[in-house]
Chain A
Amino acid sequence: MSRLYWLVSIPVLLAFGGAVFANRVTPFVLGMPFFMAWVVGTVLITSFVMWVIYLLDPANKR
């Protein structure tokens, strides 16, 4: 089941990649500067990924 844990690379890559690929103010996304929108998106995706891991992790079934 530990292959599931590789999912965690998604938030980590998004978080670190943001500084390199999303470091700009425009275009505005939902009114937010692009960089900030990227961070907010990363947080939402992180929470979702952790939820999926939590649901599928056999450690939480007992």
Chain B
Amino acid sequence: MNNIPLLIIAASLAFIVYLGLRARRGIEMNLEQWSVGGRGFSALLVFVLMAGEIYTTFTFLGASGFAYGFGGPALYIVVYTVLAFVMSYWLLPPVWRFANAHKLLTQSDYFAKAYGSTALGTLVAVVSLVALIPYLILQFKGIGIIVELTSYGGIKPAVAIWIGAGAMTLYVVCSGMHGSVNTALLKDAVVLVVCVFLGVYLPYHYYGGLGDMFRTLEEAKPGFLALPETGKNAVWYLSTILISGLGMYLWPHTFASVYTSKSEISFRKNAVVMPLYALVMLFSMFVGMAAVLQVPGLSGGQIDLALLKLSIQTFDPWLVGVIGAAGLLTAIVPGSIMLIASSTLFARNIYLVAAPSTSDANLSRISRLAALLISLIAVVLTLRGGQSIVALLIMGFSFVTQLAPALFASLLWGRLTNKYGVASGLCVGVGMVAYTVLAGVTMQQMFPAAPAWVHDVNIGVIALGLNLVTMLLVSAATCKVASGSIAGRLRSSPEPL
């Protein structure tokens, strides 16, 4: 009935594919070019790549949805992102130096090299894939929801997912990381404009201004804009910031995009600017808060629809189309980077370990074939749906956070940890996460006698603590038979790490 939004979304998709395919011109595409852009990206490109990964559909729909559903606690997203950026100033340069010196391509390569064990690399790769594929599925689900709503129901989610995933896979297979970075530039510009516009205009339109919106909300729901006494309270807020902040750079695709930089100074430059960029997320939260009194009644998983529902209720179809296109970009661009990371992980840390004599040219072909297969698997799993995916996704973030002790130890206490310690710590941590998520255990059930505030601690802290203790104990017990990490020894500049 209304073709304008569809035309805009289709045109944007076509343009993205064009940009993605064009990116391969003049590049001889070997595996290093394909998966880490030949380690030649400038500070600006590294910025859009990393910002591009962090601003996914989660930011666009999830942050506004969280603000709609929970109010004040949503600010944890801004705070953990900013603290992770601060940490990046010291964390990323030594990681980059080590990766550059050893020509690493994946996050698992880092652990394999630092601890001198390809088996550890394979273990990390398996954990990473289990975490990353649900994250990719989430992006595909996002495509389905966004296109269905902004086409006013004209396009069924399944069709949108096939087309979106197909377009993304096409430019991933052809251009790899060069395609992602080319499209990330456009995506960041569009999302920035759309987010700020919505965050300023919607409160103005419905309440007369931002300040008026907050006052109206405080009258309607006193205390909604701060942290509550129970549930998502200060204890939850602090422990969740800790867990999420530590985990942010441990996502395999984020970690591997560190390798794309041509110099280590980029990371220190970006640590200055990135925090300001995190403020953009506030605007998407303003939209969620504006929706609280305008589209009431969304609950459960539906809170993620707040931004789209309010936009459809407010704007002309052409503007809905632009918003839909922006949403599509927030799914496709990060999705493409996840797809590259997962297929490189498969090729380098699983296939190559099983068949060590594979030539570089063959491995490059296998990565691209893996991209095609992983994308296909993700689409099929997205369409079949089911609760298991939601559970996997909740586990995903906690899984990658379990790599934090091994990463920090490799740089700070290289002598105190070794491959046996890291592998056992990782298994214990991942096992604990899987147990708590699958069995639905809460802190209250685990520690019934503990003081009330303990019950609000993010349960991920327990797994992380067990992981750390196991890692140190097993390393101490096996220090005679295995040497420590070599990653921290590469100091080319006076830094504390």
Distance A8 CA – B86 CA, assembled complex (angstroms): 8
Q: Which residues of A contact B184 (CB under 8 A)?
A: none
**Residue-by-residue, is B203-244 near A (CB-CB < 8 Å gives 1, otherwise 0)?**
000000111101100100011111100000010011001000
Name B57-87 residues within 8 Å CB distance of A. Answer: 72, 75, 78-79, 82-83, 85-86
Distance A26 CA – B211 CA, assembled complex (angstroms): 12
Q: Are B82 and A19 in contact (CB under 8 A)?
A: no
Distance A35 CA – B289 CA, assembled complex (angstroms): 15
B279 contacts the other chain (CB 8 A): yes
Q: Are A33 and B238 in contact (CB under 8 A)?
A: no
Among candidates B90, B215, B241, residue contacting A15 with C-beta atoms closer than 8 Å: B241
**In the assembled complex, how far is the CB of residue A30 from the closest CB belonging to chain B, in whole angstroms?**
8
Q: How many residues of B contact A (CB 8 A)?
A: 43
Q: Which residues of A contact B494 (CB under 8 A)?
A: 1-2, 58-59
B273 contacts the other chain (CB 8 A): yes
Q: Are B241 and A31 in contact (CB under 8 A)?
A: no
A-B pair count, CB < 8 Å, reads 113
B162 contacts the other chain (CB 8 A): no
Q: Which residues of A contact B268 (CB under 8 A)?
A: 54, 57, 59-60
Q: Are A31 and B78 in contact (CB under 8 A)?
A: no
Q: Which residues of A contact B276 (CB under 8 A)?
A: 43-44, 47
Q: Which residues of B contact A30 (CB under 8 A)?
A: 211
**In the assembled complex, how far is the CB of residue B147 from the closest CB belonging to chain A, in whole angstroms?**
32
B272 contacts the other chain (CB 8 A): yes
**In the assembled complex, how far is the CB of residue A3 from the closest CB belonging to chain B, in whole angstroms?**
11
Q: Are B226 and A25 in contact (CB under 8 A)?
A: yes
Among candidates A23, A43, A46, residue contacting B227 with C-beta atoms closer than 8 Å: A23
Q: Are A16 and B238 in contact (CB under 8 A)?
A: yes
**What are 18 A-to-B residue pairs whose CB atoms are below 8 Å?**
A16-B238, A24-B226, A28-B211, A31-B212, A33-B214, A33-B218, A34-B226, A36-B282, A40-B279, A46-B85, A46-B86, A46-B275, A50-B85, A50-B271, A57-B268, A59-B493, A59-B494, A59-B495
Known interface pairs A25-B72, A47-B275, A59-B93; 16 further A-B residue pairs with C-beta atoms within 8 A, sorted by A's residue number: A5-B90, A5-B496, A8-B89, A15-B83, A19-B234, A23-B226, A25-B224, A26-B218, A31-B212, A36-B225, A43-B78, A43-B82, A46-B85, A50-B85, A50-B86, A54-B268
